[in-house]
């Protein structure tokens, strides 16, 4: 099983301050790294949410020592209001959402997130629902493909890549990660050494598209902030600029409006320190933002 090391665990615990007990929510529990840290630090109860059923199974195993204090929920984090309502939780003492794709997903066999090996082109975080990457790539028009690759991957050769995909699928279905990566590499002009594989941005774009990763993120943040008790905090970790931009602007907007008494605690995003980067190079793109519901306006 691939090892997933949670990012900025100490910082998450430092912001959420679970030492006094209380109810916390890990909105994207993954392998359970942040959840474990919160429980070890004193969280009294934890609601562990993930839309990946495999991740939930792993987290359940790894958090077995705290089984009486953890409830596992197979759901999309954007349904946070319904998850809390179903458990009679009008307000909680803190939430964390790590929006990155985990090592389990990137390296897990058969998931189709990575082009490091040739396997079915899937990319769904929840394999039990929705169209796969292969389905979307097969059915989208050239303009839609170009728009997705440009918008979600910030890929300047998006039109060339979309044209190449359409031409290739006319000859044969694009069913595997290896096929798609080869098509993209041939479509992207390269000269000399490349810092990243030419297929990287396109794979990111299609993954975001398949999982609707940016859709409803602002709404989730609004809802999550409303469900915080007075003095409670939310921590969000992102791994690419598109998500971070939404988190930054939404939290600032909630703060500026003043309706629910939220205050942004991170004027600039918190980044992993040098020791963590040396231990876990995948953390290099992580950004953490946090906000608190002030005492005078909280629930």
User: Which pLDDT score, from 0 to 100, does residue 194 have?
Assistant: 72
User: Which pLDDT score, from 0 to 100, does residue 298 have?
Assistant: 44
> Can you identify the CATH homologous superfamily of domain 9-99+214-293?
Vaccinia Virus protein VP39 (3.40.50.150)
User: Which pLDDT score, from 0 to 100, does residue 119 have?
Assistant: 94
User: Which pLDDT score, from 0 to 100, does residue 104 have?
Assistant: 67
pTM for this prediction: 0.91
Average pLDDT over residues 285-297: 88
Distance CA 30, CA 48 (A): 9
Instruction: Name 98's bridge partners.
Output: 237
Please provide the average confidence, as pLDDT, over all residues in the chain.
93
Instruction: Name 48's bridge partners.
Output: 26, 72
For residue 4, pLDDT over 70 is answered with no
User: Which pLDDT score, from 0 to 100, does residue 233 have?
Assistant: 98
Distance CA 169, CA 264 (A): 47
Confidence tier at 26 by pLDDT (50, 70, 90): very high
Q: Which two tokens stand for residue 280?
A: 């876990």
Nearest CA-CA partner of 209 in 258, 154, 145, 161: 145
For residue 1, pLDDT over 60 is answered with no
DSSP 270: B
In contact, 209 and 136? CB cutoff 8 Å: yes
Average pLDDT over residues 130-146: 97
Higher pLDDT, 3 or 112: 112
Q: What is the pLDDT of residues 158-174, one digit of tens each?
A: 999 999 999 999 999 99
Name the CATH code of domain 111-211 (choices 3.10.20.310, 1.10.150.170, 1.10.10.10, 3.20.20.105): 1.10.150.170
Say whether 111-211 and 9-99+214-293 share the same fold.
no
Nearest CA-CA partner of 238 in 27, 88, 85: 27
Strands (E), the chain: 23-26, 45-50, 70-74, 92-98, 228-238, 262-264, 287-293
Confidence tier at 299 by pLDDT (50, 70, 90): very low
Domain positions in the chain are 9-99+214-293, 111-211
User: Which pLDDT score, from 0 to 100, does residue 290 have?
Assistant: 98
Distance CA 56, CA 73 (A): 8
Q: What is the pLDDT of residues 212-251, one digit of tens each?
A: 999 999 999 999 999 999 999 999 999 999 999 999 999 9
Strand 70-74 and strand 45-50: pairing? parallel
Percent of the chain residues topping a pLDDT of 70: 94
Q: What is the pLDDT of residues 49-91, one digit of tens each?
A: 999 999 999 999 999 999 999 999 999 999 999 999 999 999 9
User: Which pLDDT score, from 0 to 100, does residue 155 have?
Assistant: 96
User: Which pLDDT score, from 0 to 100, does residue 190 have?
Assistant: 81
Average pLDDT over residues 124-130: 92
């Amino acid at each position: 099983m691939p090892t997933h090391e949670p990012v900025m665990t100490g910082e998450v615990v430092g912001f959420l301050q679970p030492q006094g007990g209380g109810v916390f929510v890990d909105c994207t529990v993954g392998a359970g790294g942040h959840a474990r840290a919160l429980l070890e630090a004193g969280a009294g109860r934890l609601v562990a949410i993930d839309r990946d059923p495999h991740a939930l199974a792993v987290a359940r195993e790894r958090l077995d020592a705290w089984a009486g204090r953890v409830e596992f929920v197979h759901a999309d984090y954007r349904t946070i209001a319904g998850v809390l309502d179903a458990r009679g939780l009008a307000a909680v003492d803190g939430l964390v959402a790590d929006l990155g794709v985990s090592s389990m997903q990137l390296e897990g066999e058969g998931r189709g997130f990575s082009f490091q090996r040739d396997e079915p082109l899937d990319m769904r975080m929840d394999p039990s629902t929705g169209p796969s990457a292969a389905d979307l790539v097969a059915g989208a028009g050239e303009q839609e493909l170009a728009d997705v690759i440009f918008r979600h991957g910030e890929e300047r050769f998006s039109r060339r890549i979309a044209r190449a995909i359409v031409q290739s699928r006319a000859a044969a279905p694009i069913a595997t990660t290896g096929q798609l990566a080869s098509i993209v590499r041939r479509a992207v002009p390269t000269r000399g050494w490349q810092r990243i594989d030419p297929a990287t941005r396109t794979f990111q774009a299609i993954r975001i598209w398949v999982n609707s990763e940016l859709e409803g993120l602002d709404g989730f943040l609004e809802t999550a902030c409303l469900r915080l008790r007075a003095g409670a905090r939310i921590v969000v970790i992102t791994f690419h600029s598109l998500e971070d931009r939404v988190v930054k602007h939404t939290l600032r907007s909630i703060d500026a409006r003043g309706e629910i008494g939220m205050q942004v605690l991170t004027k600039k995003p918190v980044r992993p320190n040098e020791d963590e980067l040396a231990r876990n190079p995948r953390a290099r793109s992580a950004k953490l933002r946090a906000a608190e519901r002030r005492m005078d306006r909280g629930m």
